[in-house]
Structure 1
C-alpha cells in the first residue's frame, strides 16, 4: 500500500472513531439528560422527585430490547444507514417534547426515544470490527466508551443547568438544537461503510426465525452469559445510585441547589480515564486482575459514601465510577473479540442485559430509599454487588479458560 493510500485509510479510520464517538455523545446526552432534570420534571409535571427517577428506567427498558432489533437490522442493511436515520428521528422526537404537557405523555415519549437510542450502542463495536484491524479495535473501543461517559456527564450537567435556569419548553428547544448539530457533524464524519451483506441475506424480508439464530448462538456460550450478567449487575447499581444521591444532596443537611447537585456527575471523569486506559491495563494485567480491581473499587466507593460528608460522597463516587467503567470497557472489548460471527448481535445481547440492569435498578432501589434514605440505597447496592462479586469470581476462577485476557477468543 502506497503512502497516499495508507494516509487515506488512516484518515477514514480516524473519521470513523470520531464520528461514532460524537454519535454516542448525542445518544447519551439524550438518555441521561432527564437524570439531571429531576427537580424541573417534578415541578413541571406535578410528580414527586422519586417518581421522576423512573423516567430513566422506562427509557432504559425500551432501549434494552430495541438493541436486539437494531442488531438484526444492521446485519441486513449495514451499520451506517440505521445510525443516521435513528439520529434524525431522535431530533424530531426532541422537538416533539417541546409540546408535552402530561407526565404520562412524557413517559410514552421517553419509551419511543429509548427505542431510537439503541442504534449506536447496538452497532458501534460491530462497525469498528468491520472497518478496523484488530490492533486498532481495542483503542477505538476504549475511546468510544470514554465518549459514552463524556456524553453521560454532558447530558446530566446540561440537564442540571436547564433545571436551574430554563423552563421545560426552553430546555427542550436547547436539546433539539444540540442533537441536530451533533447529528449533522456525524453525517459529515462517518466514512463510507465497507459492510458487505451476506449473500444468504439478500432478498430475504421480512425478518425470519433464522435472523435470530445468532442470539441463540451467543446465549449458548457460558462465558458470554457471565459477561452479560456482570454488565447488567454493575450498571443496575451504578447508574441508579446517581439518581438517588441527587435527592439525598438536595435534602438536609446538604440542601444543594438544582444545578449544584448535578456536579456529582463530574465524578464520571474518573470513569472516562478508566475507559481510555482500559485497553492498556487489560493487556498488561489480564482480565482477572482488572475485573477483581474494578469490582473492589465499585464496592469500596459505595461504602465510602456512608460517612455522609460531601468529601466522602464525592470521593466514593469517583472510586465507584472508576471501577464501573473499567468493568464496562473490559466487558465490551471481551464480547467484541470473542464473537466470531453475528458480532452486532453479541454486542446487542451484552447491552440489552446492561440496560435491563439500569431499568430494574430504579424500582429495586426505590423501596430502600423510601424506608431508609441514602443508607438504604447503600444497603440495596451492597446486596446487588455481592451477587456481582459471586459472578465475577465464577468467571475468573483458575480453571476457567478465560483466566487470561482474550486467550481463547
Structure 2
C-alpha cells in the first residue's frame, strides 16, 4: 500500500470531516423529525398526545445503550464499516415506518432505529482522533457539533412542516428519500482507507475479549475528570432538551396560543448554539476549556432566568442565550473527552454520549413534576436545581484540571 502524500492526506481528512458532519445531520433528522410530528402521530394512530411521545423516548433510550455496543464493535472491526452499514440500514428502516399499521409497530421500529442511530455519534470522535492530524482535531470536533445542532433544528422544523401539509405515509416517504440521498453522499465522501492504530493483535478467547471491553469502560469510569465531564454533559442536556419541550406547551397556551408549527419555531434558537459550536475550537485553543465551561454555565443560568419575564421576546432571547451556553458546554465536553482519551477512545466517547442521552430521557419525567405544579415557572425552578448541580461539577472539574492540562492552549 502506497503512503499518502501530504496533499492527499489533507484531502482525505477534509472528506472525512464532511462525511461525518453530513452523517450527523442525517442521524439527527431521523431522531428528531417525530418530535415535530407528535400531534400528527397521535391523530393517525389514535393515541393520546402523552403516549405519542414514546416514539421519541424509546429511540433515545435504545440509542443511549447502543452507543456502548458500537464502541466495542468499532474497536474490533474498525470505524468505517459500522458507520456505513448502520446508515444504510437506518435509511431503509424508514420504509418500515411508512407501512406501520399500529402504534405498537411504530414503537418497535423506532426502538430499532435507536440502535441504528447510535453508530455515528459513538464512533465519530474516536474516528477523528485516529485519522486526523492534531491541528485538525479541535476544528473537526467543533464543526461536528455544529452539524449536530443543524440536524436537530432541521429535523424538528422538517417534522412540523410535514405534519401540517403531508400524510403520515408521505412524510415518512420524504424522510426516506432525504436519508437515502444523505447516506449515499456520506458513503461517497468517506475515505476508503483507515489509518489503523498500532495495536498488537493477540488471539484471545471470547471471555477474555469481554473482560478487556469491560476493563476499557472501567478505565475511563475510574478517571475522575472523565466522570465529571460525563456528568456535566448529562446534566446540561437533561435541562436543555426538555426545556425546549415544555416551552412549546407554554407557547401553545394562553396568552400566546401559537399553533403547533409556530411553537416548533422556538427550535430556531438552536442557531446560536450552532454559531457557538463553530467558534468553540478557536476559543478552546485561546482560553482553555475551564474558562469556557464557566462562561457556558453563566449563559445557561442567565438565559433560563430571562424567560421568567414571560414575553415572547424575552423567551426567544432567553433560549438563544441558553442554547449558546449549552452547545458551548457540549463542545467543550466532547473535545475534553476526545483529547483526554489516549486509549479505548470509542469507549470514552460512547460513555459520554450514553450519559448525555440518559440525561435527556431522565429530564422529561423530572421537569414534568415542576410543570404540573407551577407550569413554566416550575420548569425554571427545576432547571435551576440542575444548574446548581452543574456548577458543583464544573467547580470539581476545575480543581482536578488545575494540575493536568488536557486540552491545548495557544502558545
Q: Which TM-score applies when normalising by structure 2?
A: 0.93
Task: Tell me the equivalent position of 2:201.
Answer: 200
Task: Tell me the equivalent position of 1:134.
Answer: 134
CA distance in 1, matches of 2:390, 2:20: 30
Per-residue displacement from partner, 1:116-165 (whole Å, max 9, x unpaired)? Answer: 11100010011111111111100011111111111111101101101111
CA distance in 1, matches of 2:406, 2:344: 24
Range that drifts further, 205-214 or 102-111: 205-214
For the pair 1:367 / 2:369, whether they are aligned, the reply is yes
Task: Tell me the equivalent position of 1:114.
Answer: 114
Q: Is the 8 A contact 2:337 2:348 kept in 1?
A: yes
Following superposition, the deviation at residue 378 of structure 1 comes to 1.6
Q: Is the 8 A contact 2:237 2:326 kept in 1?
A: yes
Task: Tell me the equivalent position of 1:383.
Answer: 385
Task: Tell me the equivalent position of 1:18.
Answer: 18
Q: Is the 8 A contact 1:338 1:406 kept in 2?
A: no
Following superposition, the deviation at residue 393 of structure 1 comes to 1.1
Q: Is the 8 A contact 1:238 1:324 kept in 2?
A: yes
Q: Structure 2 matches for 1:6-405, cutoff 5 A?
A: 6-196=6-196, 198-200=199-201, 208-397=210-399, 400-402=402-404, 405=407
Unaligned runs of 5+ in 2: none
1:328–1:202 Cα change, 3 Å: farther
Q: Is the 8 A contact 2:336 2:406 kept in 1?
A: no
Per-residue displacement from partner, 1:274-323 (whole Å, max 9, x unpaired)? Answer: 11111111122222210011011111111111122111111111011100
Q: Is the 8 A contact 1:53 1:243 kept in 2?
A: no
Q: Is the 8 A contact 1:300 1:319 kept in 2?
A: yes
- Classify the secondary structure of the residue corresponding to 2:5: helix
Per-residue displacement from partner, 1:41-83 (whole Å, max 9, x unpaired)? Answer: 2222333434433433221111111001100000011111100
CA distance in 2, matches of 1:150, 1:199: 40
CA distance in 2, matches of 1:203, 1:245: 53
1:201–1:256 Cα change, 3 Å: farther
CA distance in 2, matches of 1:204, 1:78: 19
Q: Is the 8 A contact 2:35 2:156 kept in 1?
A: yes
1:187–1:367 Cα change, 3 Å: same
Unaligned runs of 5+ in 1: none
What count of residue pairs does the alignment treat as equivalent?
404
CA distance in 2, matches of 1:349, 1:282: 22
CA distance in 2, matches of 1:189, 1:157: 27
Following superposition, the deviation at residue 106 of structure 1 comes to 2.4
Following superposition, the deviation at residue 405 of structure 1 comes to 4.2
Q: Which TM-score applies when normalising by structure 1?
A: 0.94
CA distance in 1, matches of 2:400, 2:362: 32
Range that drifts further, 197-206 or 381-390: 197-206
- Classify the secondary structure of the residue corresponding to 2:260: coil
CA distance in 2, matches of 1:389, 1:52: 34
Q: Is the 8 A contact 1:304 1:316 kept in 2?
A: yes
Following superposition, the deviation at residue 368 of structure 1 comes to 2.0
Range that drifts further, 278-287 or 217-226: 278-287
Q: CA RMSD in A?
A: 1.9
1:50–1:201 Cα change, 3 Å: farther
